[in-house]
Amino acid sequence: DVKVTQSSRYLVKRTGEKVFLECVQDMDHENMFWYRQDPGLGLRLIYFSYDVKMKEKGDIPEGYSVSREKKERFSLILESASTNQTSMYLCASSFPISSGVFHSNQPQHFGDGTRLSIL
Amino acid sequence: QKEVEQNSGPLSVPEGAIASLNCTYSDRGSQSFFWYRQYSGKSPELIMSIYSNGDKEDGRFTAQLNKASQYVSLLIRDSQPSDSATYLCAVSAGGTSYGKLTFGQGTILTVHP
């Protein structure tokens, strides 16, 4: 079974703090993703990475950055936390398209999520 | 803007009935289609993947794909109260999309005894 582990289930931080959310997967997936999920807004992609040290902005990257120094680990950083970043944060990973193996995009597998509150 | 639309809920069905969840997508180049189930306060869990036109069955779940109509659906037979959850439709483009998925807003399903 795919295992995507997020470092914290619940986290409370203060406005202005630098916040690190960690995600580790054990399936040797190249692709990794960070989402936030808010009531009525659905899942929104913040950043994704398709290889070590490679990163791409998603739909709502403002106020966030990411780091991928190792294949299995993808970190989300809130540079200076604000109250509007209170949310459920979800990490996911997937295999890439690979000729001879996968010819279509593969499903993403999610971690348990981190419910982050910024006070 | 590539969009994924799901039938607005909430959807309520009696135990033992068939629940039908629908999803349309705007990108004709889409190649991979997924259904996720999300219980309240939990993360999305993959329940079905479908890549080609037609039906795909897995236990009580059947996914149906019609690329010409840009339509994908999920049928849940013999619905149980434990099926009560939000169901998310997710669609992926082909090519070098790096595995990005576009999610629908979700349909809340309630199965009442």
Per-residue pLDDT tens for B15-73?
Answer: 999 999 999 999 888 889 999 999 999 999 999 999 999 999 999 999 999 999 999 99
d(CA A111, CA A89): 9
Other C-beta atoms lying within 10 Å of the C-beta of residue B97: 21
Return the pLDDT at B95.
61
CB-based contact A106:B32 (threshold 8 Å): yes
> Where is pLDDT greater, at B89 or B100?
B89
Question: Does any CB of chain A come closer than 8 Å to the CB of residue B40?
Answer: no
Q: Which residues of B46-82 are buried (b: 16+ CB within 10 A; e: fewer)?
A: bbbbbeeeeeeeeeebbbbbeeeebebbbbbeebeee
Contact B43 A108 (CB under 8 A): no
Residues B6, B35: Cα–Cα separation, whole Å: 11
Cβ–Cβ contact B69 with A under 8 A: no
* A105·B99 Cβ contact <8 A: yes
pLDDT for the residue B99:
84
Best CA proximity match to A104, nearest among B100, B73, B94, B50:
B94
pLDDT digits (tens, 9 = 90+) for A47-105: 999 999 899 999 999 999 999 999 999 999 999 999 999 999 999 999 877 656 666 77
Does the CA dihedral A53-B2-B8-B17 come out positive or negative?
Answer: negative
B105 interfaces chain A, CB cutoff of 8 Å: yes
Q: Do B90 and A104 touch (CB under 8 A)?
A: no
Contact B49 A107 (CB under 8 A): yes
Mean per-residue pLDDT, A3-29:
95
Q: Is A106 on the interface with B (CB under 8 A)?
A: yes
